[in-house]
Amino acid sequence: MGESYTPEQNKLLKKQFPLMLREIAAQGFIANHFLYSAGHFCEEYIEPMQQWFAENGIHLNSDNYTAFYFVYVLLNGPTACNCSATEMCWYYLPSTKRSVQQWSRN
């Protein structure tokens, strides 16, 4: 069924969303599907999204961006891929200043 919003709510949320996303980028992680692949799935959205992020002051870097598929790992846990939490972090996390030991404890 999905979500629905009144025109007034939609207008307000369109203003608030970039601010919320900027806060997430500053304090947490963004996990977009910015992936070029043989099947070209959703590739046409990568550059427009990156441009929108830049226009709204949302800066992605190795401290706040992670692969979209890492969300699946977080939701399913290490047993889903038959590996330890540390191995999951080595495989799915991008280069980052945080140590794998810190990730595997969180």
The three-class DSSP label of residue 48 is helix
Q: Check pLDDT > 60 for residue 24.
A: yes
Beta bridge pairs of residue 30: 65
The three-class DSSP label of residue 65 is strand
- Identify the residue with better confidence: 78 or 52: 52
Instruction: Give the global pTM.
Output: 0.64
- Identify the residue with better confidence: 16 or 1: 16
The pLDDT value given to residue 14? 93
Mean pLDDT of 17-43: 88
- The 10 Å Cβ neighbour count of residue 53 is 19
Mean pLDDT of 68-92: 62
Q: Residue 85: which pLDDT band, with cuts at 50, 70 and 90?
A: low
Contact assessment for residue 97 and residue 62, using Cβ atoms and an 8 Å cutoff: yes
